[in-house]
Each structure stands twice: as C-alpha cells, then as structure tokens.
C-alpha cells in the first residue's frame, strides 16, 4: 500500500474508469465549461447564436461556443491550431456523432481523462494527485471546483504559482454549481470558506526507493514496452516491504557512518516465495544511478566456497572425515601452464584438517585442493542450479571466489536462499501483480521453482554454515536464533561480503567502492573483511527483520545424505600424518561446535595470493 513512484512519459496521465470519477467532479466541469451540457446533443446551438452575436459586436473572437463534446473530439481527432471555419464544422459534426454513440457521463469521463490541468498533469487522476495527493474519488467540492477551473488557463490559474487567481476561479465555479443546482447553498458556503490546501509537493516529483523503482521499471519495460508502462494507467504492486528497506538503510548508515566510507548494497529474499523484500543498491541515487545490488558484478571471495562445498557433497565427499593438509600449497594440474600458489589470509596453518574445520576457518589451501578433486565444471554447475546467473569461468580459482566477471548481491541472496529452502531454487521476483486502468489483473507473479540441489545436501551445508556463525569467521552475524552464513573477502580487500540466511530470509551484503576495486585496508582503522562490517550490517538487518517471522530451526530432511566411503583424493591426507609442527583438531560429525582450542583466522583470500592460470578445467577427472 505504500506508494513508491509514479512513472510517466512526456504527458503525465493515468487513465481511470468512470466509476473512479465522482459526480461532483463532473458537475464542477459542466458548471464552468458547458452549463447546457445535459440539454444539447453535442452542439449547443443556443450558445452558438449567442457567441456569434457577441463576436460580431466585438469585431473579433470574444466568446467561444465549443461544448465539452466538441472540445473532446477536437483534442482527440482534429488539429487544435486550425481555427478555420471548415475545421469548426468538422468538430460540430464529430461531436454530434459522438453523442449518438456514448452517454453523457462516458463523454465527461473521456474528457476528464484527457484534458490538461497544468503542471504536466493530463487527466483528472494526475491532477488530483499533483495538487492534492489523493484519488479523484476523495475530492471535496472545493477541490473539484479548483480542478475544473484549470483547463481554460492552466498556467494562469496555477494554484502553486498564482494562488489568488486560482482561488478566484474556484469560487466562480462553486457559485455556478450552486446556481445550476448541483450543490446546496450550505455546501456552497462551506466550500467558499475552505482555504486553499494543496499537498506540500506533487507525488510525481518524489520517488521512494529509487534503486528499487529503476529495477522494477526496467522489468516492466521488458514485459510491456515503454508506451504501456508510461502511458497505460498500470498499477504495479511490488514485493518490497518498506520497513525492511528502512532497516537495511539504517543498518548500512549506522555501520558506515564516517565521511569517505565505502558503499554497501543489501538484498533480502523471502526464502519460501522468492520475493525480494529489501533492495538497497547504493547510498546516493542522485550521484550514481548504478544499482550495485542488482547490476553490480564484484568478486565474492570465500563466499563462493559454499558452491564448492555443495559440489563436494554431491561428489560424495564427507566433510567430517575427509582430510586435507592445511599448509601453503603449490598445485599443478593438467592443462595449467604454471603452478597455482595458495596461502591462507593470516598465513596460519593447521596441518591435517577436515573440510568441516577448513570451512569454519575459511581455509583457502584446503578448498583449493578440494576444488581440484571436485572439478571446476561441477562447481559452476552447482552455482548455476542454486541461482547464480552471471557467466562463470570453469577454473579452480572460483572455489576461492576468483571469477572473471563477478556476481551481484541479488544472485548471492538468491543462491543462498536455495540452501534455506531444502534445495529448491525459486527465481527472485519483485513484481507481484500488474493491473490495467480498469482494475483488471493483466500479470501475476508465478515464480519459477526448480529443485537445484537435494534437500540432504542443502541441510548438511546449512549445518556447517550455521556453525560458522556460532564460532567461525561469521561470529559477528549472530542474531540469537538459527542462522547460517559465509563470509567473503576478495584480493587486497577490494570487496567484502556476508551472505547468510534463516528459515525465512536470505540476505547478502556487499561492501566496497562502486567506482573501482579499491583496497579497503583502512576503514575505521581496520582492514575490511567479510566477517567485519558486512557481517555487522547483516546482523543489524536480520536481527530485526527475521523476528517478523516465527523462529524456526533448520529442519533435517527424512532422506539423509549419502557419502562415498571409498572416496580417495589426490590431495587428501590421513588424519594422523602431518608435515607441520602445529596443533590440529578433530571435528566429529555429531559435534555441534568446533573445539574451543581452535582459533580461526579472520577471513579469507590473502593479499599476496597468486591466482591459478586462467585456463580451462583439468583434462582429467579425479
């Protein structure tokens, strides 16, 4: 029910049906424009004779005789600049024909939907909104009279620029309405005593949530074309929840509250419906129209490890019992022109580590090895099935977020929602319904649903990512109810993310500089990682928004995940072997939290990591 914006072209017009136009508006128009309207048949011959005599005496055009019907056909079918006698005869003939085809009220309604009321308002709907910010049906006598007086001289009687002239014209209309019996004496006196009470501004000049409006507008144009979007009288209902928009903006502003801070974008999706309930595409639409939430393509860092984990579980890799060596690694694979050097963010290493432990530490070295076991094409496929739509390069580096193009916060929120929704992906939607000028529903959202991954895999990944918020790199995102998520930090701190979800909402937060990938190595005196500011923004938003929904734990599906007991990796190691002198920990499948003795580096991709060669996937499978 909250108005976001009006969309219109050169002519600001919203066509409405006759039942939405009150009789008082019709009476006001007839009183001032054509008092014999209900008595003539399109041409007022009495008025014609009177005007003819007056103009002859004045030796010029001092009085017109066009009826409302004649004005309408002139506006619709003839050149108003032509003042020839033949044009006037055509106007009279057309008016007579129109009156034979349409009722008096139908003609008035057509006129009121087309006439110009000034301030770029064409039609009574636009006029009522422009001057009083209300529906025509809610107009008072005084307001209807003021509007009815505008078409003769829209600029001269403009209530904003010439309020006294507008009041004088309004009072003439009111008195004429009383004279013709349209209103009582008491109603006339009350209307005459009513002060000029305009809306503080025209709603057409104000736009709530401009990034959302621009995103919706683009979709509408793709669906219906520009002519219908800007001139079809459409009413569009979106999925956006205004309160969540405010929460998102506040979460960003109260976290990034210093001059020169980077920007942030946030997208939140209702996991069971695919409805986009919040979208913040930037901090200042006036300075940048680019919607970072939907259009931005940035490096996701370790937030992309989730897709590698999904692909690994689908491959049969057991994250609780499969070990890799946490150590600086130089990886080579068929087709690579040069080796791939990988280290961790904090250069901390833990020797033999399970995939589960490495997930909570966001260990690059373990995930790089697992990516070669799983295969880059399989990771790409999992990401696509879960909701990523940007082009992905099938290179092992994607396991650590090394993408050619990058992804948007909208894509990441959508993909993570798949985990919350038992593996079912629902295509995000922001438009609920579209109705035409007559109130007929011409489009209704029917989000596309596909089973992207199995419910068992989704639950097992969720189980790990839930632990990640409790005691891993995502601890700053704790909202005191069941939630799962993953941090992400790109090379040189150029992009930072937190993507997470509950049973109700999936929300992704991106942070960075819109104009370029600029290192965020000194924001409030800190190096920005996904576990810092993005996780805090996510926590502030989700702590409030998710409490509009019942608290629900993540439900374990009846069908359990099946692991490949005979899986052997080229890079896996036995849990007892270690080439490093370091403390290791063991995380059993039934453990709910990692051991307290384990410390986790802050996050993610180190500034000095060398990305693998940009080649295709390994030619051999593991």
Answer whether 594's CB lies under 8 Å from 587's CB. Answer: yes
Q: Is 535 helix (H, G, I), strand (E, B) or coil?
A: helix
How far apart, in whole angstroms, are the C-alpha atoms of residue 85 and residue 254? 69
Answer whether 176's CB lies under 8 Å from 35's CB. Answer: yes
pLDDT at 363 over 70: yes
Share above pLDDT 70 across residues of the chain, in percent, rounded to a whole number: 86
Q: Which residues of 179-192 are buried (b: 16+ CB within 10 A; e: fewer)?
A: eeebbeeebbeebb
How far apart, in whole angstroms, are the C-alpha atoms of residue 423 and residue 77? 58
348 vs 543 pLDDT, higher one: 543
Per-residue confidence band for 51, with pLDDT thresholds at 50, 70 and 90: low
Q: Is 222 helix (H, G, I), strand (E, B) or coil?
A: helix
Please, what sign has the CA dihedral across residues 419, 425, 429, 434?
Answer: negative
The pLDDT value recorded for residue 227 is: 84
Distance of CA 180 to the CA centre of its chain: 51
Q: How many CB atoms lie within 10 A of CB 396?
A: 30
Please write the tens of the pLDDT for every residue from 79-98: 666 666 676 778 788 888 88
How far apart, in whole angstroms, are the C-alpha atoms of residue 294 and residue 211? 9
Per-residue confidence band for 56, with pLDDT thresholds at 50, 70 and 90: low
| Interhelix angle 124-132/141-148, nearest 10 degrees | 120
How far apart, in whole angstroms, are the C-alpha atoms of residue 176 and residue 35? 9
Please write the tens of the pLDDT for every residue from 481-500: 999 999 999 988 899 999 99
The pLDDT value recorded for residue 200 is: 86
Cα–Cα distance list, 174 to 108, 116, 129, 559, 606 (Å): 18, 20, 21, 75, 76
Q: Where does 24-167 show beta strands of DSSP type E? A: 121-122
- CA dihedral 296→299→302→307, nearest 10 degrees, is 70
Min mean pLDDT across 12-21, 156-165, 256-265 is at 12-21
Give 264's strand partners: 511
Please write the tens of the pLDDT for every residue from 287-306: 667 888 888 899 999 999 99
Q: Record the tokens describing residue 551, joined without a space.
A: 């608290």
The pLDDT value recorded for residue 15 is: 81
3 vs 337 pLDDT, higher one: 3
The pLDDT value recorded for residue 58 is: 53
pLDDT at 353 over 60: yes
How far apart, in whole angstroms, are the C-alpha atoms of residue 221 and residue 456? 40
pLDDT at 339 over 50: yes
The pLDDT value recorded for residue 54 is: 57
User: Quick one: which of 201, 234, 32, 29 has its CA closest to 132?
Assistant: 201
276 vs 10 pLDDT, higher one: 276
Cα–Cα–Cα angle for 174, 175, 181, nearest 5°?
Answer: 90
Distance of CA 182 to the CA centre of its chain: 47
How far apart, in whole angstroms, are the C-alpha atoms of residue 328 and residue 582? 13
Mean pLDDT, the chain, integer: 85
Cα–Cα distance list, 504 to 408, 424, 432, 501 (Å): 21, 14, 18, 7
Min mean pLDDT across 139-143, 145-149, 392-396 is at 392-396
The pLDDT value recorded for residue 600 is: 31
DSSP 226-284: HHHHHHS--EEEE---HHHHHHHHHHHHHHS-STTPPEEEEEEEETTT-BEEEEE--S-
Please write the tens of the pLDDT for every residue from 8-42: 776 777 788 889 999 999 999 999 999 889 888 77
How far apart, in whole angstroms, are the C-alpha atoms of residue 319 and residue 316? 9
Answer whether 413's CB lies under 8 Å from 382's CB. Answer: no
| pTM, rounded to two decimals | 0.75
Q: Is 148 helix (H, G, I), strand (E, B) or coil?
A: helix
pLDDT at 390 over 50: yes
The pLDDT value recorded for residue 586 is: 29
Backbone φ and ψ for 501, nearest 5 degrees, come out as -160, 160
Cα–Cα distance list, 169 to 149, 150, 154, 184 (Å): 6, 8, 11, 19
The pLDDT value recorded for residue 94 is: 87
Answer whether 603's CB lies under 8 Å from 473's CB. Answer: yes
Q: Write the CB contacts of 80 (distance below 8 Å, at least 6 apart in sequence).
A: 74
The pLDDT value recorded for residue 158 is: 94
How far apart, in whole angstroms, are the C-alpha atoms of residue 141 and residue 171? 11
Answer whether 175's CB lies under 8 Å from 182's CB. Answer: no
Residue 576 CB-half CA count within 13 A: 0
Pairing of strands 121-122, 484-489: unpaired
Q: How many CB atoms lie within 10 A of CB 436?
A: 16
pLDDT at 617 over 70: no
67 vs 306 pLDDT, higher one: 306
């Amino acid at each position: 029910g909250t108005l976001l914006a009006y969309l219109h072209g050169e002519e600001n017009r919203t066509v409405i049906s006759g039942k939405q136009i009150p009789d008082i508006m019709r009476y006001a128009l007839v009183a001032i424009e054509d008092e014999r309207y209900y008595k003539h048949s399109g041409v007022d011959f009495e008025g014609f004779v009177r005007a003819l005599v007056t103009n002859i005496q004045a030796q010029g055009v001092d009085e017109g005789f066009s009826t409302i019907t004649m004005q309408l056909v002139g506006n619709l079918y003839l050149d108003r600049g032509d003042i020839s006698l033949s044009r006037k005869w055509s106007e009279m003939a057309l008016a007579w024909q129109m009156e034979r085809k349409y009722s008096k009220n139908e003609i008035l309604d057509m006129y009121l939907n087309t006439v110009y009321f000034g301030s770029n308002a064409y039609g009574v709907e636009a006029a009522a909104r422009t001057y009083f910010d209300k529906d025509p049906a809610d107009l008072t006598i005084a307001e209807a009279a003021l509007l009815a007086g505008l078409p003769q001289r829209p600029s001269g009687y403009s209530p904003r620029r010439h309020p006294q002239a507008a009041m004088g014209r309004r009072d003439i209309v009111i008195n004429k309405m009383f004279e013709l019996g349209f209103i009582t004496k008491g109603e006339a006196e009350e209307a005459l005593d009513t002060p000029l009470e305009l809306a503080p501004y025209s709603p057409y000049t104000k736009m709530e949530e401009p990034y959302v409006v621009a995103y919706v507008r683009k979709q509408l144009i793709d669906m219906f074309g520009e002519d219908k979007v800007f001139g079809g009288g459409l009413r569009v209902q979106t999925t956006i929840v205004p309160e969540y928009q405010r929460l998102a903006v506040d979460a960003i502003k109260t976290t990034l509250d210093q001059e020169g801070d980077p920007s942030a974008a946030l997208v939140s999706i209702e996991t069971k419906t695919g409805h986009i309930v919040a979208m913040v595409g930037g901090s200042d639409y006036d300075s940048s129209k680019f919607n970072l939430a939907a259009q931005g393509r940035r490096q996701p860092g370790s937030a992309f490890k989730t897709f590698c984990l999904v692909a690994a579980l689908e491959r049969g890799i057991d994250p609780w019992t499969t070990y890799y060596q946490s150590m600086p690694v130089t990886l080579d694979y068929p087709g690579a022109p040069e080796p791939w050097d990988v280290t961790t963010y904090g250069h901390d290493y833990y020797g033999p580590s399970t995939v589960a432990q490495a997930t909570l530490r966001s260990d690059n070295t373990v995930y790089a090895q697992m990516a070669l076991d799983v295969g880059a094409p399989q990771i790409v496929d999992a990401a696509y099935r879960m909701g990523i739509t940007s082009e992905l390069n099938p290179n092992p580096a994607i396991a650590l977020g090394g993408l050619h193009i990058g992804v948007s916060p909208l894509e990441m929120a959508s993909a993570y929602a798949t985990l919350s929704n038992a593996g079912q992906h629902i295509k995000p939607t922001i438009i609920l319904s579209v109705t035409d000028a007559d109130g007929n529903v011409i489009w209704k959202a029917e989000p596309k649903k596909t089973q992207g991954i199995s419910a068992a895999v989704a639950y097992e990944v969720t189980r790990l990512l839930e632990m990640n918020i409790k005691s891993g790199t995502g601890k700053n995102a704790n909202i005191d109810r069941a939630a799962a998520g993953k941090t992400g930090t790109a090379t040189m701190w150029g992009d930072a993310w937190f993507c997470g979800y509950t049973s109700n909402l999936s929300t992704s937060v991106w942070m960075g500089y819109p104009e370029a990938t600029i290192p965020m190595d000194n924001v409030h005196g800190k190096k920005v990682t996904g576990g810092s500011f993005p996780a805090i923004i996510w926590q502030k938003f989700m702590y409030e928004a998710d409490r509009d929904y019942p608290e629900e734990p993540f439900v374990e599906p009846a069908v359990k995940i099946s692991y490949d007991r005979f899986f052997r990796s080229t890079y896996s190691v036995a849990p007892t072997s270690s080439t490093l002198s370091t403390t290791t920990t063991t995380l059993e499948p039934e453990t709910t939290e990692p051991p307290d003795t384990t410390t986790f580096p802050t996050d993610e991709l180190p500034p000095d990591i060398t990305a693998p060669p940009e080649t295709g996937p390994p030619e051999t499978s593991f």
